[in-house]
Structure 1
Amino acid sequence: MDAELEQTLAAIGPRLRSLRRDRGMTLEELSAATGISVSRLSRIESGKRRPTLELLIPIARAHRVALDQLIAAPATGDPRVHLTPLRRREGSVLIPLTQYPGRLKVFKQVIAPCPRRLVTHDGYEWLFVLAGELLLVLGERELILRPGEVAEFDTSEPHWFGPNGDHSVEILHIFGRKGHKATVRAHPVDH
């Protein structure tokens, strides 16, 4: 076996452990979700057992990640990112820009007109308007954001966002499930 393959295989266990811990899961919870025994999962994470496809597929499903993200498949030399748009209700599209397990999820969204329905959940959201006008409802407040404008808010506050009017709006959307905030730093340009 060549050194690169050996290194890739050796890194799978620690990657699986890190992924599980980042998601706040115990071995027992992952075992319940996958049907794989706690001892087998522990041996895989510690590198004492090499995972097979039969073991990796249920783990990938439990974490909702692509199989190649679990094994960190070697790069093909093609730098293009192959995005898979998810079509939603009439005219709305969600494009996941991050497909790795992590704290922040990034999406590009085209949101078609839709009814308002305030929701709450754990996390923090950051919205950047690319095109159109976004209506953001936060509790009793209504804000209109135009291209280039940004909003960030705690999702435990009742909220809803969508187009302001009859035309779709296009946004970049960053979401952190455990309240992680997006940090944007800008430095003035000296002329």
Structure 2
Amino acid sequence: MDQESTGQDTVEDANWAEEREKLRADLGQRMKALRQDCGLTLEGAAIRTGLALSTIHKIENGRVSPSYENLVRVARGYGVGIERLLSAEDGTNTAKTRMTVTRAGTGGKVRTASYEYEVLCTALSEKKIIPLVATIDRRGKLGPKDLGAHDGEECIYVLSGRVELQVEHYAPVELGVGDCAYYDSTLKHAIRALDDTETRIFWTSTDDAFTR
């Protein structure tokens, strides 16, 4: 690798680190605002969500990225759809239309510990399905602690790269571009990328995954 390429990689890494920090901060601000809208103290939020008070405090202050399962817990505890956590829109002026469009690359973005989500079609209220495009950062071998479960059902479709899907009671499945899987979210599950290249999937969850 030449010196010019190394310098460019360093700049890109620095830019990405800055973007990740901003995404964490934005998510934390939205979570804090929602908690306050619900009239909850940190102690009350911990009871509602089942998360440790210190965890909620760190997320709200942008110090840590929440896991997907913790986002589900917060959405359920606050009685909102997960898009309220992932989108900058506050939901008060959500259109009553039954059709909405998100242009390429314009969805709201949020980063968790293992994924970056682009949240799609947030302008439509009371959706039965939550559509996302996820970039998979997790590449290490999955262990029992990496798998999580929640209400609802999910469907994934691989857009680029390869992923390994693990679902409780089933053998791990390798999925490539164009492959699709649908599974019961009440079974413990997790996804990891298998390649060093950018790995993206179209990912949908039923709304009951976040509101029950």
Report the TM-score, using the length of structure 1 for normalisation: 0.51
SS at match of 2:205: strand
Question: For 2:102 and 2:181, how far apart are their aligned partners in 1?
Answer: 29
Q: Decide which of 87, 101, 111 is 1:87's aligned counterpart.
A: 111
- Aligned residues of 2:139 and 2:194 also touching (Cα < 8 A): no
How far off its partner does 1:33 sit? 4.0
**For this pair of structures, how many residues does the alignment match?**
116
Deviates further, 170-179 or 155-164: 170-179
1:102 matched to 2:102? The reply is: no
- The runs of at least 4 aligned residues of structure 1 exceeding 6 Å deviation read none
Contact 2:127 2:207 in 1 (8 A): no
1:96-138 Cα offsets, whole Å, 9 max, x none, are 1131331100000111125531111111000000000010001
Deviation at 1:34, TM superposition (A): 6.3
1:165 deviates by 4.2
Output the amino acid matched with 1:123: G
Task: Give yes or no for contact 1:162–1:169 (8 Å, CA) kept in 2.
Answer: no
- One-letter amino acid matched to 2:172: E
Runs of 5+ consecutive residues of structure 1 not aligned to the other structure: 1-31, 36-60, 74-78, 180-191
Aligned to 1:172: 202
Of Structure 1 and Structure 2, which has the larger fraction of its residues in helix? Answer: 2
Q: Any gaps of 5 or more consecutive residues in structure 2? A: 1-36, 41-77, 85-89
- Match of residue 91 from structure 2: 66
**TM-score, scaled to structure 2:** 0.47
- Structure showing greater Rg: 1
Indicate the SS of the match to 1:141. Answer: coil
Q: 1:80 and 1:161, CA in 2 relative to 1: closer, same or farther beyond 3 A?
A: closer
Structure 2 residue 183 is matched with structure 1 residue 153: yes
Q: Does 1:118 align with 2:142?
A: no
**Once the two structures are superposed, what CA deviation does each residue of 1:30-54 show, in whole Å capped at 9, x if it has no partner?**
xx9469xxxxxxxxxxxxxxxxxxx
- 8 A Cα contact 1:93 1:111, kept in partner: yes
Q: Percent identity?
A: 17
Distance 1:103 1:130, change over 3 A: same
Gap change, CA 1:120 and 1:87, over 3 Å in 2: closer
